[in-house]
Amino acid sequence: MAQPLTVPELLFTQGFGTRRICAGLVQQGLVGIDTGHGLHTHTQTDAMVDVFDGMPFMVQGVLWQYHTKAYVLMHKPAGTECSHKPSAWPSVYSLLPAPLRQRPAKTGLQGVQAVGRLDQDTTGMLLLSDDGQFIHRMSSPKHHVPKLYELSTEDAMDEQVVHKLLQGVVLNDDPQPVKAAACCLTDSHSMQLTLTEGKYHQVKRMLAATGHKVVKLHRARIGEMGLGDDLAPGKWRWLTSDELAALTRKH
């Protein structure tokens, strides 16, 4: 659904800086907008345009798309932290362009936020958004969104390990057993494990409870959506409307 905005307002909502900076970009002729008839350069700060999700626009020669809310998929590489203030490793947010990190928000936080965290050595599917309801929907254990992990262990595993994980294991800080929603061996040292909650270091601690050390961990799927093979580690892309619908479908 289209909504009218001035060109500086459009840029501001998409994270291109303060309103003054956005107005300056427009006045310098550095902004082009395509409302369906090709890119047109705007230099008047009071010019109104009808914006809609997916609408192309260009800033300083770089092509973007307008999005009311940001929904992003990243292939998290190893050696990165899901924190704005990392302690020892580079932040995953440093892999995103500045506008995604600067999108304005009504709360104190700005920019997209990771939907849950992955350890610095864990790779795979990471969702980021500035939609608080979406973040809660994806991360809250109340919604039971399944997350599929592929892992490798230092020592060989057997079906007894699978049985323990499905029946439930006790972690050192929680008296209630934690169960895997699904679990299967792919070879003697590898496993696919599905969880519907996200406790701290949960996969590693669950395997440790069975006497095994995880040496490699990769998140391959969230809900009905898989990471796929077309996104290299460290890269990101916008979610499609179909992918967003699949993610938010009730389980």
Helix or strand (DSSP H, E) at 167: helix 159-167
Among the listed residues 34, 46, 53, 119, the single catalytic one is 119
Q: Is 157 helix (H, G, I), strand (E, B) or coil?
A: coil
- Degrees to nearest 5, angle at CA 147 with 142 and 153: 130
Question: Which pair of tokens denotes residue 98?
Answer: 């500045």
Based on the residue annotation, tell me whether 53 is a catalytic residue of this protein: no
Long-range contacts of residues 1-4, Cβ cutoff 8 Å, at least 24 apart? 1/52, 2/50, 2/51, 2/52, 3/50, 3/51, 3/52, 4/48, 4/49, 4/50, 4/51
Residues known to be catalytic: 119
